[in-house]
Structure 1
């Protein structure tokens, strides 16, 4: 069970709604390779990643408004743009799947994203590794919504002993040049291997106050489930 100091962090209402704010600090990202802005009725909801031209990976709690599942027909994604509200292209979601007991969800697109998908690792990251997080939204609790996706460098504090919002194993990080905050839910945590990005986490929860401590659903633990969804749905 998650401790009381943790909150889930979609921009819109989710299982534990809060005021919207994404990466605090960090830096603007100059490209959107492998990234997707998840929209609900055209408004920013969460971040995500393109794991196949017809599939986007995000957090399970991003697909809920309170305890109510958001209809697939209300969800779309913007791809190939550093801005969540313009550029690139918007692709509708035809169906979605959520994983039991993990803060992991998959969105099936009704047409190809025509983008280069991110890579899914077979093993989790290591304690002390430098990783990179991405998300859209505000940069402080009283700021307006950020127009451009931002990046924050993260240090891996633990790979065991923590859980995501639904009880799955979580990777814990803290920020080296920026912290995660409300609105960054579903965004990817990448580790670079030989210059290639491998997604090791999906942002699930943070410490209250958006200072230090982010918890990521562990992607390698869901790799087989993700691949099976893509192969059978």
Structure 2
């Protein structure tokens, strides 16, 4: 059976899909064949649980879309390249548990976007931020871990959105604990053309997973708190269909991150 995938950026306004422009906190319910934005069947994050998670409100020509990202240094955020594609600018929400009630925000133009040429991963250069309990970085895996496939490891993904199919879209940050699976298992669903060595997948069980609006957000290991994935795709059959969810594999891009940011471990 052929399974289609869908990227997870959630439009907050577009001339084709929505008649009016709305603020990020007023995300409309998407109907038809599209999936609503959410961490599905996760749990509300307490303040400071994931201080490395940022909200990203992208805009272009008055339209916009919402993604997540991870602070990896005082001047850098890591996200998905399908989030930055064609955007003119982004507003970065720092230290927000409630989606738009951030500790502070920064507006950043597209001249500060660096997208990978062949993978769904991107960097955003941000004004310098100081770290504290509500705003902090997440560490990347070390070079010693670059060949670790993390199979069977548990990790946490965080993002904003509803908690089940058909739910209203709450603004409180949601997190979900997910188990990483082998690429060979993930390829049984999506094939080797989609699940390359630079992809990492998680098992979606009991309706727990990622969905639109979570794009670009973090997948961080329970053991060691390392950023191993950037939220990328799910099956078009639905975020709660029980099919694996895919992330850009951070260990595949450590050289690229270091070359562009100077960050390495």
TM-score w.r.t. the length of structure 2 is: 0.74
Alpha-carbon shift at residue 131 of structure 1 (Å): 1.3
Specify which of 54, 58, 70 is matched with residue 36 of structure 1: 54
C-alpha distance in structure 1 between counterparts of 2:197 and 2:70, whole Å: 19
Report which stretch shifted further, 175-184 or 206-215. 175-184
Please identify, of 196-205 and 158-167, the stretch whose mean Cα deviation from structure 2 is larger.
158-167
Asked if the contact 1:92/1:110 (under 8 Å) is kept, the reply is no
Contact 2:152–2:181 (8 Å) recurs in 1: yes
**Residue matched to 2:97:** 82
Confirm or deny: 8 A CA contact 2:216 2:232 kept in the other structure. yes
Q: Deviations over 1:118-153 (max 9, x none)?
A: 111132442211111111122234323221111111
Mapping of 1:117-128 within 5 angstroms? 117-121=137-141, 122=143, 123=146, 124-128=148-152
Are residue 151 (structure 1) and residue 175 (structure 2) matched?
yes
**How far does residue 91 in structure 1 lie from its aligned partner after superposition?**
1.4
Per the alignment, residue 252 of structure 2 pairs with 221
Question: Does residue 20 of the first structure (1) align with residue 36 of the second (2)?
Answer: yes
SS at match of 1:23: coil
Tell me, yes or no, if the aligned pair for 2:114 and 2:122 is still in contact at 8 Å. Answer: yes
By how many angstroms is 1:159 displaced? 3.7
Distance 2:108 2:247 in 1: 24
User: Equivalent residue for 1:97?
Assistant: 114
Q: Distance in 1 between matches of 2:130 and 2:183?
A: 32
**Pair 187,60 (structure 1): closer, same or farther in 2 beyond 3 Å:** same
User: Tell me, which stretches of 5 or more residues in structure 1 are unaligned?
Assistant: none
Q: Does 1:191 align with 2:212?
A: no
Alignment deviations for residues 82-141 of structure 1 (CA, whole Å, 9 cap, x no partner)? 122113110122511000110000011133253321111132442211111111122234
Of the candidates 110, 128, 133, which is equivalent to residue 127 of structure 2? 110
Count residues with an aligned counterpart. 220
Q: CA deviation at 1:166?
A: 10
Choose 143-152 or 45-54, whichever is displaced more.
143-152
Measure the CA separation in 1 of the matches of 2:167 and 2:68: 18
Deviations 1:198-226 (A, max 9, x none): 01100111122112310010001111111
Alignment of 1:46 with 2:67, yes or no, is yes
Aligned residue for 1:231?
262
Output the TM-score relative to the length of structure 1.
Answer: 0.83
2: distance between equivalents of 1:133 and 1:144?
A: 20
Instruction: List gaps (5 residues or longer) in structure 2.
Output: 15-32
Q: Map 1:68-79 to 2 at 5 A.
A: 69-71=86-88, 74-79=89-94
Provide the secondary structure at the position in 2 that maps to 1:227. Answer: helix
Partner of 2:20: none
The question of whether the paired residues in 1 share the 8 Å contact of 2:72 and 2:78 is answered with yes
Change (3 A) 1:168 1:96: farther
Structure whose residues are more often strand by fraction: 1
C-alpha distance in 1, partners of 2:36/2:220?
23
Distance in 2 of aligned mates of 1:96 and 1:24: 29
State the 1:154 CA deviation.
Answer: 0.7
